A = this chain, B = another copy of it.
Amino acid sequence: MSGIAPTPDPPYVAVIFTAVRSGEDEAGYLEADAAMEALAKAQPGYLGYEGGRGMTVSYWATEADAKAWKQVADHLTAQRLGRERWYTSYKVRVATVDRDYGWSRPAP
């Protein structure tokens, strides 16, 4: 879990990725997961990333930025390995964040 991403005021784009893991090649999966997070950070329009077990959300300035990330060469390789090894199924949902709000515990 990577905490709360410091996104700007809406609107922006959220890509919700939910997967069922196969259980195969755990080490390779973890290595690729870290590499893809680092690579995503270097892409135009990248705003942040939040991840949990089996679910990650990446945030992008525009839908064009999210689509461009999908086509980055090393990411295409990871997507192929995901289908061959790491996942039995997944779903990607591309959404527009219309509003957001948050809360933080006041300092004591």
Number of interface residues of A (CB under 8 A): 40
On whether the beta carbons of A54 and B57 are closer than 8 Å, the reply is no
Known: A1-B54, A3-B20, A51-B52. A101 touches B105 (CB 8 A): no
Instruction: State the copy count for this chain.
Output: 2
How many angstroms from the CA of A101 to the CA of B89 in the assembled complex?
11
Q: Kindly list chain B residues whose C-beta atoms are within 8 Å of the C-beta of A18.
A: 3-5, 50, 57
User: What are 21 pairs between A and B in contact, CB < 8 Å?
Assistant: A4-B90, A7-B93, A14-B93, A16-B16, A16-B57, A18-B57, A50-B55, A53-B53, A57-B57, A63-B98, A89-B102, A90-B102, A90-B103, A92-B100, A92-B101, A93-B97, A94-B97, A94-B98, A95-B96, A95-B97, A95-B98
Chain A contact residues, CB within 8 Å of chain B: 1, 3-5, 7, 10, 14, 16, 18-20, 22, 50-55, 57, 63, 83, 87-105
